[in-house]
Amino acid sequence: MRIKKIIAVKISVIFIISSLFNISSAHNQSGWVTGGEYVAWVYVSISHTNSNNLLYKFNESDPYFSTSNNPNYRNFIIQGAALWTNYSDITVSQSSSAVGEVLTYTSSSDGYNAKFYDQKADFSGHLTGWKIGMNRSNTPNAISMAHEFGHAIGLDDLSGLANTNKLMYGSASTTAIYPTAFDKWGAHVITGIHTHSSNSNWVQSFYFKDTSGSKVKQTPSKNL
């Protein structure tokens, strides 16, 4: 009876710690990965991509994607995708077979430059459908599109003042102009492009491309 109580207490402690530090198990990986404001990336466990190649398609019935109407909207998407492709080992590219769709809308009241919504996922939490809407009433740009693609990868908004310089900061006031090392850290953990150290000291490492296109091994300064 005493043994059962000890086991129950241990399970409760593990559950509480996991909740406090937002610990989640990554798919097809050994060990644990964590995310949170204190490590400058947050993992959306219920809906995320299952690949390091994120595909999207334009809603071709949307007249605002016509080059004769307003080519900027289409270009913002392409440029936002390129920010991930050029500065990380995660590729964001256009495909007619993509489950993700990009379109425009107009709303003067919702306050968004763009939004990630209508996501659908399978039992494992892998996205089977999603949309990114560009708000024509505000001022979407390539950076806001890269932010929304971050949601499709599986990154949630950051809100802490210490993270205003991260791409996934949930406000247009972010000072990031491309995915930072910490945005990429979280994205690479989600997509599996990382390595673990010993179980007693988790440190995610990954490779990303520098401005010359060369791969550089990056280990963020924060240990888990």
What's domain 33-218's architecture? 3-Layer(aba) Sandwich (3.40)
Task: Identify the segments of the chain with pLDDT beneath 50.
Answer: 1-33, 194-209, 217-224
Domain ranges of the chain: 33-218
Residues 81 and 56 sit within 8 Å (Cβ to Cβ): yes
Q: What is the pLDDT of residue 67?
A: 66
CA atoms of 7 and 183, how far apart (whole Å)? 37
Length of the chain: 224
Contact between 127 and 82 (Cβ < 8 Å): no
C-alpha count within 13 angstroms, C-beta hemisphere, residue 120: 5
Instruction: Calculate the average pLDDT of the chain.
Output: 75
Specify the pLDDT at position 69.
Answer: 66
CB 24 within 8 A of CB 45: yes
Q: 80-96 burial string, b = 16+ CB within 10 Å, else e?
A: bbbbbbebbbbebeeee
- Note the pLDDT of residue 68: 67
Q: What is the pLDDT of residues 98-119, one digit of tens each?
A: 999 999 999 999 889 999 999 9
What is the C-alpha separation between 210 and 224, in angstroms, rounded? 25
- Which two structure tokens, joined as six digits, stand for 77? 């998407």
pLDDT tens figures, 190-207: 887 544 433 333 344 444
